[in-house]
A = this chain, B = another copy of it.
Amino acid sequence: MMKLYYAPHTCALASHIALEDAGAEYSIQRISFAANEQRTPGYLAINPKGRVPSLVTERGILTETPAMLAFIAQTFPKARLAPLDDPFRFAEVQAFNSYLCATLHVAHAHRMRGTRWADDPAAIAAMQRKVPDSVGACYELIENRMLRGPWVMGDTYTICDPYLFTVAQWLEGDGVDPARFPEVRDHRQRMSERAAVRKAIAEELAEELA
């Protein structure tokens, strides 16, 4: 059985939803960022990056959301979470997820994780001020050029959808008005009505309150 290490309100939710979508048997283990648990020797032995998510499988441990999502899709092919037999379509899925990971998530991270890239408090504050712009620019592109609708890749639900839904949770916190991006907003709403999404969120919330 797989085990997903996650923290609430992080990108780990994407893999959590995908595990649900796949019908996988898995457990979840919360890492408390408030307690800095991601930097403990125990967790660093699991993921030396000190980040979430991590997915413990019977073969070993995986990290990095785009890699984990593709792994879940390939491990549970019956769930049809990616166009596994079409390298071009699969690459389109992967390109979308890579953009979320390396551009959108990175823009977002400048709000809370500025110390990764500067030491000066004034510089960190300057980064925070630009987050609404830089994150907003990502959503401009997603809204107008990338999100085909009703799902990210068009008529077929894929591993792009839980990932977009997950990062779109951060819109308001990043100072970006969802009303500017009706396609993204509608996608978020559409996702929030899915049973797998409700279950994943409820599980994370239940552990948080436990």
Contacts and interface: CB of A to CB of B under 8 A. Distances in A.
How many copies of the chain does the oligomer comprise? 2
Q: How large is the interface on A (under 10, 10 to 19, 20 to 34, 35 or more residues)?
A: 35 or more
Contacts of A59: 88
A70 interface: yes
A110 interface: yes
Interface string A185-206: 0000000000000000000000
A152 interface: no
A123 interface: yes
- Would you call the interface of chain A mostly helix, strand, loop, or mixed? helix
A71 B87 contact: yes
Interface string A136-161: 00000100010000000000000000
Contacts of A122: 120, 122-123, 126
Interface stretch (A24-32, A33-41, A93-101, A171-179): A93-101
A105 B107 contact: no
A95 B70 CA distance: 10
Interface string A68-110: 1011001100000000000110111011011101110111001
Given A67-B95, A106-B106, 5 more contacts: A57-B88, A60-B88, A71-B94, A118-B129, A122-B123
